[in-house]
Amino acid sequence: MNKRLRISFTRKGLLKALKKTGLVILGLTVLFFLLNLLFPLPDKLEYSTMITDNKGNLVNAYLTRDQQWRMKTELNEISPLLQTTIIAKEDKYFYHHPGVNPFAVVRAFFRNIFRLRVTSGASTITMQVARALEPGRRNIWSKIREMFRAFQLEWKYSKKEILQLYLNLVPYGGNIQGVKAAALLYFNKNPDHLSLAEITTLSIIPNRPVSLVIGRNNDGIIKERNRWLRKFEEDKVFTAKQIEDALAEPMNASRASVPHFIPHLSLQLKKQGGDNIRTHIDLQMQQQVEKLTTDYIRIQRLKNIRNAAIVIIDNATHQVITYVGSAGFNDSTDGGQVNGAHAVRQPGSTLKPLLYGLCFDEGLLTPGSVMTDVPVNYDGYTPENYDQQFHGYVTTSYALEHSLNIPAVKSLRLLGHEKLIDKLSACNFKQIRLDRKKLGLSLILGGCGTTLEELTGLFSSFANNGVFIPPSYSDADSVRSSLRVMSPAACFMINDILSRVNRPDFPINWSATEHMPKIAWKTGTSYGKRDAWSIGYNKKYTVGVWTGNFSGVGAADLSGANIATPLLFRIFNMIDYDSDESWFTQPEDCDIRKICSETGRVPSDKCENLVTDYFIPLISSNQPCANRQEIMLSPDEKMSYCKSCAPQTGYKKKWFRIIEPEMQAWYAENRIAYTAVPPHNPSCEVIFRGAAPAITSPVNGTEYMISRKDPEPLQLTCKTANDVTKVYWYINNKFYKTSNAGEKQFFIPEEGPVKISCTDDKGRNRNVNITVKYANL
């Protein structure tokens, strides 16, 4: 019975002890979580921004705000060799303790007590991470804090992640932190490419960062490295063969500088955030284009042209593989650190291909459509061509090849400028999207803001069958939606026009085209000759070139044709020399038909001069040509009749080409002979119900400001019907002057409201009203 009592008391004592132990553990657990809430882990780290090329090689990097090179080692960069070496040296029981190794703590305590000094530490890898995250004076309290932080780390992170933190925080002297920064700066390698000897070398530096400096104390480092290698061999961490190879490996490393390639793009990507940013830059091509650009601009400085920017897109991947922001990043004479590829500038005529492509898709035009290139006035807006000349009848192809402004403005007016703005906004033209309410017809001549990045991305859609895919600058640009800019047929027509060599914007004295790949290109020059553009493409690449001055100062010789295009050609010659790449083929939705060469319309039986033209079936206009009209004439052909006034007999019929009033005026002004329809029967009354003269200047409803000191006269012009020879001008209901149809007149108006009337020789009248103010200008 006594034995049973003793067993019973023993069980009760054990249960009581277990209960107390459980309560202690529970209490400690509750205390840990409470302290964890009160004192959260300071694990927010700032890493150096690293920029790499398309092969993963470092091309640029930036210090952290505390001026450290702390480059993030990713989990996939921790090789088995690196992991084994670090754990064998620093914490062989890393995977078996909860952050604190109690046996190591006890061992260190007794060693230090008996020797009366610190001879042995008990810090695990986890505790070293805790100390790096929260540095401070080393004493008993800091050690307790390290242990608590170690438990927090083990609770929050996996062992692999804690090892990653250690490798990112371990100090290597100076301002180098982490194995990746050390590997790149000392060995020019990523951590996963380090050898056993190199890893062992890096593992011993943190213990003696002052006395063991790579590049300064290499002999001492080799001695200490070999000591640890032999210890690894004794502990059977590595094979004898591995150790033998590591011992034989020479060590002549020294600290290198961080590279600073692609500086403009690197700065731009850094602002977007991220630790490791992998770009698509082809570094070899980048450096070749940079040198070519620098050398080219050095020559152009004699013409007061100091800068250039280049963007190259791989059309197969839609990735930006070359990005040059200026002719020299460190050149302070014209703001070399300004990013010319990202700067908003006036695009000149570079948007015209998109405009005509949209007109093709709307059925408004075809390449063979004929327009008039003569003076126009749209509510006071009077565009002019770059060469200050007018060319009369021109086809769409000719207008685009010669970059004529007036046909482009007419085409935009036909299309509607809102449609062009909508398309550009959808293609990520940010400034145009912001300014859309301010934009009008001048948009197509460069009256807007764009960047070289945006324009090059837009032109890459011409090489992609009319589909726009936003250019990708880094691996972070993984989600990109596509947008059809124009149909394959319209795109093919634009490519065909822009690839023709017989153009006025072909560079003067260019002779290096023998092996140059076939390309399509478009130039542009902004108002005041401040910006010159040339953007070209073939199946492989799209290249955008901007030249000019960041100061905004214009240059007399600056133009897209003679400055930007030669650089474009040189770049294509270099990156795609002697290419045999096939050209764009005619798509199924594009067909060929005969048209009248005089109107660009489907020919009638009276059309004599026919040419072939591309068109889009069921989209392009099928309106027949009505260029020829049979007119009834008097026997002497000095008077014409209509059906209402023609006599019963005694007249003849003759076919005439119908000339628009604006072309009649242009022919007359340029003394170009043409066969005009004879004046109409003066006794015909029906003709008075015809079209009255259209006053084109001054513009109705406009307020004109005139200088009192030097008043300039206002111009009087009008458009009339074919049969009008004379017009009569009236100012405020008082006769002013008689002139020939299409002839310009001038007058100096009085201040205040002014009524201007124009009556033709058939009695038809048109009025406009303006307001005139005089000021001391």
Q: Which of 48, 123, 203, 349 is catalytic?
A: 349
Q: Which residue has the tokens 């990043």?
A: 329
Print the SS3 string covering 228-241: HHHHHHHCCCCCHH
Q: Cα separation of 234 and 228, whole Å?
A: 10
Strand-pair category, 467-468 with 483-484:
antiparallel
Q: Which residue has the tokens 């291909």?
A: 353
Q: What's the CA dihedral at 523, 528, 529, 533 to 10 degrees?
A: -30
Q: Cα separation of 176 and 457, whole Å?
A: 39
Long-range CB contacts (within 8 A, 24+) of 206-215: 206/170, 206/171, 206/172, 209/171, 209/172, 209/173, 210/173, 213/173, 214/186, 214/253, 214/254, 214/255, 215/186, 215/253, 215/254, 215/255
H-state helical runs in 435-564 = 452-462, 488-498
3-state secondary structure of 766: strand
Q: Are 745 and 697 in contact (CB under 8 A)?
A: no
511 half-sphere exposure, CB direction, 13 A CA radius: 1
Q: How far is CA 305 from the centre of its chain?
A: 23
Catalytic, 90? Answer: yes
Report how many helices (DSSP H) and strands (DSSP E) the chain contains, helices first.
Answer: 21, 27
Q: Which of 77, 90, 290, 401 is catalytic?
A: 90
Residue type, 531: D
Q: The tokens of 133 are what? A: 């995250």
Q: Are 466 and 366 in contact (CB under 8 A)?
A: no
Q: Cα separation of 340 and 451, whole Å?
A: 8
Residues 6+ apart with CB under 8 A from 501: 513
Q: Are 36 and 155 in contact (CB under 8 A)?
A: yes
3-state secondary structure of 466: coil
Catalytic, 349? Answer: yes
Q: Cα separation of 138 and 622, whole Å?
A: 90
Q: Cα separation of 606 and 624, whole Å?
A: 11
Active site residues: 90, 349
